[in-house]
Amino acid sequence: MHGKPTETARETVPWGGRVSGKGGFMAANETDTGHFGRTLHGKVAVVAGGTRGASRAIAVELGRRGAYVYVTGRTSGADRSEVGRTETIEGTVERIERAGGDGAALRVDHLDPEQVRGLAARVEAEHGGVDILIDGVWGGDGHIGWGQPVWEHPLQASLRMIRLGIDAHIVTAHLLLPLVLRRPGGLVVEMTDGTAEYNANYRHGTTLAFHIAKAAAHHLAIAEAAELSEAAESSEVAAHDCTAVALTPGWLRSEAMLDEFGVTEATWRDALEQQPHFCISESPTFVGRTVAALAGDPDKHRFTGRTLNSGELAKIYDVDDVDGSRPDGWRYITEVADAGKPADPTGYR
């Protein structure tokens, strides 16, 4: 979820989290694989747009569970994308390695078909196919222009969000889905912001292009699921059944979100003074753990074509956040925040 801190400080609402059996909040261990173990050993993953945020955490959790992870993005070393942040794809691979995994950082602009074609060629040469494709390409937050109607929002910024949220995903699908079809039980995840039900209505306070770019992921998953299924059923194509879904985290404590509130992951509860509803926020690791659990599920095809969310998957796979809680972000946003009720996470994490 994207959100801005409120300008007026309000009363801090106590956070209600569950504690571990050791009497303290459960913390993340960089090399701990949890109760899923290395269930993805031998799998090959591509995480497009894995520089920061949810996609970075997903890359780390896939690596932690044994997958070899190619991490792509536009910020590498001294090269910066328009996002202008310091996180790099190499930094993501360093986290994967600290978690006991392995991977490679490749600088790729997914709006450039030739660069994505080169990525596909390298993956094919080194591994022959892709088991898990996570498309988290975005980088458009700087173009949102909160609350501006389309006739006031800068046209270049609107079109840039469409390019990043739709065009780049289609380029990636065109060139990498053939590699996914080669692997039995392949998984494609289109990352987005908002459930299908939530995005069925206009996201007031955002902008038209942002809304369209994020809602497009739901339709990408539906179409990819249908076309992958048709390919698997065709006698003319040597292909396997594959699963395609869209997936949204809840209110994500991304690097940018923490910076916006002026807090860190360790001190995030201090942000409740600015925005009490931030009490439902979740760490990037939470969505990373849920995606890794989905990737390791032999029955994941039952979800194909759907839009899933981290809170939903956490219940299915018995996954907790790093503090031992289990936030159900979108249910909270709908039933509490948007309903105008006072901030209270009781029953939602």
What span, in angstroms and rounded, lies between the C-alpha atoms of 179 and 189? 14
Q: 77-121, pLDDT tens digit by residue?
A: 878 887 878 889 999 999 999 999 999 999 999 999 999 999 999
Q: Is the dihedral of CA 251, 253, 259, 263 positive or negative?
A: positive
H/E stretch holding 95 = helix 89-98
Q: Residue-wise over 48-74: b if at least 16 C-beta within 10 A, else e?
A: bbbbbbbbbbbbbbbbbbbbbbbbbbb
- Spacing of C-alpha 35 from chain mean position: 22
pTM: 0.89
- Tokens 């459930």 label which residue? 195
Picking from 260, 262, 50, 309, the residue whose alpha carbon sits closest to that of residue 146 is: 260
pLDDT tens digits for the chain (349 residues)? 665 433 333 222 223 333 333 233 334 455 565 566 889 999 999 999 999 999 999 999 999 999 999 999 998 887 888 787 888 999 999 999 999 999 999 999 999 999 999 999 999 999 999 999 999 999 999 999 999 999 999 999 999 999 999 999 999 999 999 999 999 999 999 999 999 999 999 999 999 999 999 999 999 999 999 999 998 887 555 567 899 999 999 999 999 999 999 999 999 999 999 999 999 999 999 999 999 999 999 999 999 999 999 999 999 999 999 999 999 999 999 999 999 999 999 999 9
Q: Which fold has domain 34-337?
A: Rossmann fold (3.40.50)
51 and 89 Cβ atoms separated by less than 8 Å: yes
Task: Name the helix (H) or strand (E) containing 191.
Answer: strand 186-191
Q: Cα separation of 59 and 254, whole Å?
A: 14
DSSP symbols for 105-156: EEE--TT-HHHHHHHHHHHHHHHSS-SEEEE-----GGG--TT--TTTS-HH
Q: What tokens were used for 168?
A: 């780049």
**166 phi, psi to nearest 5 deg:** -125, -60
